[in-house]
Structure 1
């Protein structure tokens, strides 16, 4: 049998993890395209010695592109064709690494991935769970690895860690947060929303196209708005809405308070009553995804409610704290976009009209950059005395807004001003960043 030429791309987004694992199972010729030139000459030599791979330039690939089987990230610029995405290749590798009956729950979406995955960790705490989020990899709440990415290749890293610790056979459920879609098939796939459909792969594709892979699982749970707009051709889907009675699962009689919110859940022909922490419509939706997953598994609603009650609010994800006599609501999230920021402000009005919002953050932390023009159009409708800008994003917004708003270079300085000098009692932080990099500003 002739050997095949396998070309794997992108050292920035997990390509080397895939290369290392695949090299254990194949005699095919291995090639690698380091599209972003991440690796040094010595690092390439190390990988060549380790796996037998040969690194190629784009010109070398294009000389005979069709001779390669090309494995690329779903969002990679289309400088070469793609035969299999990283998501698809991870599914292939998992067949070699895991038992056939391993139950994998995957969570993807534009907003809410980390929160839903974390809620599922708490809801399913009666089981042995291997959980991957943008913050960490855990097994039964014990941290195994900190600060993993949520590229599909991190699933390989998670499984390898479980193998090394000899716990994989004990895992009841894997719960994986995954960016830009899911690995095909699996047990339960969850699509939280597509509140903004952004371009990927140099505008040759989009988030909605990439995330359509969720419809390959035994059970698929999908945001009803996304389903209606992008995916209505798919059948056997559990559709979730905040308040649309045409969905399979929805909520009503929602009564918000700071420390707990009560609501009814309509789950097909069942009506259930819950009281849980939830400051916003978004958070109620996240709860609906987690609760629906647990009901599919067959959990009792009493156990679901009890497990959720023992879960602390997820810091930085629509959480809150009191500092002196001021209420601070925190949304610190790398995936915040204009639509989610608008919803944060709308939600704030549930708790009072006398508020300040701190808006800002960083660039280059997700595949989706924020639409500054669209955000400015929204912020221009708000009293500028209620807006404080911060960070790189805040600096650029200040230059574009019609009215002059207060600006602080550092988030910590903006918070300190709100705590000590501003007379507003209600403060909403909306900041595009990884929460761990900013949490030091809140410690007292």
Structure 2
């Protein structure tokens, strides 16, 4: 039997290995033509075939990520009996028996994963955390990152060994469908994928499991349409008083009773309200005690580089270092700044880091968001020193540092 794999930069080599173990003759195609040499070497070493175009012939299977526009790369002399997405293949191949929480969504995935890891660590669990920032054990309030890896669904096939109590895993488009708890943070934008031949929601729905599924309450009916039972989250966190930049939030949570919590020291606590709400529902399903929850929230210090706050020479700086930066995330942070009455004298600095990342940004949509909030914008793409405009009181720095 022959199998054809399109796109080797999102874990196609992991899929190839699983197929070869099942006796398939595997042909890998670098359809985008920019896979790293180490990936190519690994494919050749395992004995799979590698090319930049699909060899003519008939194949029992064609496997590709859901965002791959397969028909663009198929020729008439290539015949395929069955098409399978990478996340469908992951669901077929995964055999990890450890308790696993998979988290997807449009925004807030990393924030929720870090918050869950912190709470579960406080609860005495041995926690492994895998996100777009990297992977490694989360212990004593710190993520010990020992490896950088994509959050493509295929990453679930190569999670490291270890006697972890909980595996907290962020995934991009879709999941295994076999998690103990599957979470979809939101669907703020059901954007087109595979050259607009599909929708993000269809891929993200692949994370839904026969076990526990948690989604935003306002989206419950939508996700139920994919045939799985879901539990809604939201409405269990209240922000008290008027939030101010540089000050922790006073919040009240509804978790086995009402409790007042001081949250957000050194970072934009308002950006984590949805993550707290989701975490409350998830941890309730895991029977985490309320005293652990309160202690964890009060000791949480955010994600390094995500909404970090500092002040120098009388100017506040808020740093958002995130591979998921877009017009949506920029608008969300500006909305947070407005809620804290911090738009006056605000300058946005957008750093796409490199040309390939820059090409992933929709600059016109970003400019529309900036204009809507009437703040200044500095766009970095030439490595020059930055001159901060006179009258700047707050710098909001967005650094889009890589691909998701």
Give the TM-score normalised by the residue count of structure 1.
Answer: 0.77
Q: Does 1:298 align with 2:287?
A: yes
Query: Aligned-pair RMSD on alpha carbons?
Result: 3.0
Q: Is the 8 A contact 1:295 1:301 kept in 2?
A: no
**What are the Cα deviations for residues 57-106 of structure 1, in whole angstroms up to 9, with x where unaligned?**
64525x43xx32122111111225763221222232222xx33xx21101
Q: Does 1:72 align with 2:64?
A: yes
* Alpha-carbon shift at residue 314 of structure 1 (Å): 1.4
Aligned-partner Cα distance in 2 for 1:94–1:156: 6
**What are the Cα deviations for residues 265-302 of structure 1, in whole angstroms up to 9, with x where unaligned?**
346x8544433117354411112222322221111111
Any idea what SS the aligned residue of 1:6 has? strand
* Alpha-carbon shift at residue 377 of structure 1 (Å): 2.8
Residue in structure 2 matched with residue 47 of structure 1 by the alignment: 43
Which segments of 5 or more consecutive residues in structure 2 lack a partner in the other structure?
75-79
Q: Does 1:152 align with 2:153?
A: yes
Residue in structure 1 matched with residue 77 of structure 2 by the alignment: none
Correspondent of 1:429 among 377, 394, 397? 397
Any idea what SS the aligned residue of 2:300 has? coil
Any idea what SS the aligned residue of 2:301 has? coil
CA separation of 1:59 and 1:340: change in aligned 2, threshold 3 A: closer
Correspondent of 1:134 among 91, 108, 132? 132
CA separation of 1:217 and 1:429: change in aligned 2, threshold 3 A: farther
Which range moves more in the overlay, 139-148 or 295-304? 139-148
Aligned-partner Cα distance in 2 for 1:315–1:40: 28
Whose helix proportion is higher, 1 or 2?
1
Q: Does 1:262 align with 2:257?
A: no
Aligned-partner Cα distance in 2 for 1:239–1:183: 20
Aligned-partner Cα distance in 2 for 1:85–1:334: 24
CA separation of 1:382 and 1:92: change in aligned 2, threshold 3 A: closer
Residue in structure 1 matched with residue 171 of structure 2 by the alignment: 178
Alignment of 1:45-444 (within 5 A): 47-48=43-44, 50-55=45-50, 58=53, 60-61=55-56, 63-64=57-58, 67-79=59-71, 80=74, 83-95=83-95, 98-99=96-97, 102-125=98-121, 126-141=124-139, 143=144, 145-158=146-159, 161-162=160-161, 167=162, 170-227=163-220, 230-233=222-225, 236-241=229-234, 249-255=235-241, 256-257=243-244, 258-266=246-254, 270-277=257-264, 279=268, 281-349=270-338, 350-362=340-352, 364-365=356-357, 369-383=360-374, 386-392=375-381, 409-410=382-383, 413-414=385-386, 417-418=387-388, 422-434=390-402
Aligned-partner Cα distance in 2 for 1:365–1:154: 21
CA separation of 1:71 and 1:134: change in aligned 2, threshold 3 A: same
Which segments of 5 or more consecutive residues in structure 1 lack a partner in the other structure?
242-248, 393-408, 436-444
Any idea what SS the aligned residue of 1:37 has? coil
Q: Runs ≥4 in structure 1, deviation > 6 angstroms?
A: 40-43
Q: Is the 8 A contact 1:74 1:85 kept in 2?
A: yes
